[in-house]
Amino acid sequence: MTAHDQIKEPSFRQSVDMMFNRAVALMDLSPGLEQKIRVCNATYTVRFGVRLRGDIHTFTGYRSVHSEHMEPVKGGIRYSLAVNQDEVEALAALMTYKCALVEAPFGGSKGGLCIDPREWDEHEMELITRRFAYELIKRDLINPAQNVPAPDMGTGEREMAWIADQFKRMNTTDINGTACVTGKPPNAGGIAGRVEATGRGVQYALQEFFRYPEDVKAANLSGKLDGKRIIVQGLGNVGYHAAKFLSEEDGAKITGIIERDGALHNENGLDVDAVHSWIVKHGGITGYPDASHHTDGGALLEAECDILIPAALEGVINLSNAERIKAPLIIEAANGPVTAGADDILRNKGCVIIPDMYANAGGVTVSYFEWVKNLSHIRFGRMQRRAEESRHQLIVDELERISNDSTIKWTLSAGFKDKYLRGAGELELVRSGLDDTMRAAYQAMREVWHSREDVDDLRTAAYLVSIRKVADSYRAKGL
Ligand code: NAD
């Protein structure tokens, strides 16, 4: 990036505000309500010490609450050295719009801790996480009724289990304590399908996009997902699951994978599981066979492909490279990967961007299911599954009886009985609820995209749908 570009590039939070402003200018909200929705309500900064390796180490953490038009507020906790107040506030704002868009009944929040998790061992990470959680819990910034975190970059099931346990130690009589955080492991109150949820949501979002030939044509593409060439940046939780499902189930080819230490490229398609295992074992993609290597990973963002999936961090497509991006379709699996300036450039080039607030909403959607499961204290499907199977069995038995009694013999096709008789378990129900959510939210966005002359992109459409819902909610409260 040149010094000139750096001056023009706004911060992440400013970038989100600029996108919000572009949409809100097309609405008829009062200036006061507009401002109320835009601003971040509060950001708490905490510095706390933990005795480690014979000395006291001080860490800085944040929890930002963007909007409390619905409570609890919701949003992940990120562990990264790049965490700062501007970033958590931008991410908290995106959570408000995301929850409204997919009708998850939460306000927006986000948290972060300035830390490189790779520098500390598991026991040290537990001490640090529990102490951070303690600081947030005692101020009700983690609470099943007020503020419910989830995993984000650098955190996962392990951290969520520690946080839930910490909350329960401090609130021993709260029967709903497990619902204080989502993304927990299944054996600690989690839900089937949460780990894969955000990547699965990216897959469902693309499947829905490709159901509309008109939308596919707007991106200068044709046909289905089958055979499409995809480049993914970041093979972490979100990127790995999205790439895995799209290649294994939809016939897409992952032709490029960009990671911290460079990029891999293979026009015949990369084996996502093999690359993922290599990264887990070796700490990066360096040395991986069966692909050409690029030391400058970012350069592969500019390579020829059909779909680009930035799934690592914000600001990677910016004023310095937007003009050279060739992908006709970008799906923002990460939060904020395209800056406001880059968004302008790409739109003018005719690139279609499926925006972050929709594309990565699978995580919060399944987190919502987990929260409901925790509050109802029963796993989804537990009451219905066998009853559903018995009713299906009745039909199959009856069909077979009719066939036996009839002179014309017919048989059920192979595999039908197995599939039809199996009642839906928690994982099937979660995937079904997620698929339905992703389809409905896409349809709400595309309706605005195609019906309004003044809306020419999905991001503005997404903002219009979600701001309208947040505004209605504030109005209903009498604000
Ligand atoms: P993660 O920590 O599991 O994975 C991030 C991956 O990106 C890692 O593989 C890391 O090595 C790679 N990476 C980091 N810096 C990079 C760089 N400069 N270039 C290339 N690769 C780089 O994180 P995640 O949970 O998958 O989150 C990724 C993005 O998705 C973030 O923007 C996050 O806010 C967003 N998101 C995550 C969830 C979720 O459920 N985890 C939900 C919604 C949105």
Q: Which residues of 129-153 are buried (b: 16+ CB within 10 A; e: fewer)?
A: bbbbbbbbbeeebbbbebbbbbbbb
233 C-beta closer than 6 A to ligand 1: yes
For ligand 1, is residue 236 a contact (CB within 6 Å)? yes
State the average pLDDT for the chain: 96
DSSP 3-state of 407: coil
Q: What confidence category does residue 276 fall into, taking pLDDT thresholds of 50, 70 and 90?
A: very high
Query: Which tens digit of pLDDT belongs to each residue from 135-157?
Result: 999 999 999 999 999 999 999 99
**The pLDDT of residue 3 is above 50:** no
The pLDDT of residue 228 is 98
Residue 360: which of 75, 22, 26 has the closest Cα? 75
Distance (Å) from CA 310 to ligand 1 centroid: 9
Atom of ligand 1 nearest to the CA of 284: 11
Q: In this predicted structure, what is the pLDDT of residue 43?
A: 98
pLDDT for 394 equals: 94
- CA dihedral defined by 417, 419, 421, 426, rounded to 10 degrees? 170
Quickly name the fold that domain 220-350 has: Rossmann fold (3.40.50)
Closest CA to 180 of 64, 62, 72: 72
Whether 454 shows a pLDDT value over 80: the answer reads yes
Pick from 238, 285, 365 the residue to mutate for probing ligand 1's pocket: most ligand atoms within 8 Å of its CB. 238
What pLDDT is attached to residue 211? Answer: 98
Residue 234 CA to ligand 1 centre (angstroms): 6
Residues carrying an active site annotation: 110
Query: What band does 7 get if pLDDT is binned at 50, 70 and 90?
Result: low
Residue 111, pLDDT > 60, answer yes
Q: How confident is the model at residue 289 (pLDDT cuts 50, 70, 90)?
A: very high
| Separation between Cα atoms, residue 387 and residue 394, nearest integer Å | 11
- Under the banding of pLDDT at 50, 70 and 90, the label for residue 465 is very high
Gap from CA of 312 to ligand 1 centroid (Å): 4
Q: Give percent above pLDDT 70 in the chain.
A: 98
What is the structure's pLDDT at 8? Answer: 80
pLDDT band at 56 (very low <50, low <70, confident <90, very high): very high
Q: Strand ranges (DSSP E) for 138-200?
A: 147-151
| Ligand 1: residue whose CA is nearest its atom 12 | 234
DSSP lists the bridge partners of residue 256 as: 231, 265
In 3D space, the residue among 251, 258, 254, 252 whose CA is nearest the CA of residue 235 turns out to be 258
pLDDT band for position 414 (cuts 50, 70, 90): confident
Q: Does residue 237's CB lie within 6 angstroms of at least one atom of ligand 1?
A: yes
| DSSP characters over 152-169 | -TT--HHHHHHHHHHHHH
Residue nearest atom 18 of ligand 1, based on CA coordinates:
260
Please give the number of the atom of ligand 1 that sits closest to the Cα of 336: 32
Separation CA 219–CA 210 (nearest Å): 11
Which pLDDT belongs to residue 2? 47
Q: How far, in Å, is the centroid of ligand 1 from the Cα of 238?
A: 6
Tokens of residue 181, six digits:
């955080």
CA angle at residue 115 from 112 to 121, to 5 degrees?
Answer: 125
Q: Tokens in use for 137?
A: 């819990």
Q: How far apart (Å, rounded) are the C-alpha atoms in residues 341 and 350?
A: 15
Quick check: bond before 149 cis, omega within 30?
Answer: no
pLDDT of residue 317: 98
pLDDT digits (tens, 9 = 90+) for 369-413: 999 999 999 999 999 999 999 999 999 999 989 988 888 878 888
Q: What six digits make up the tokens of 13?
A: 């939070």
pTM over 0.85: yes
Residue 359 has pLDDT above 80, yes or no: yes
Residue 328 has pLDDT above 50, yes or no: yes
Enclosing H/E stretch for 71: none
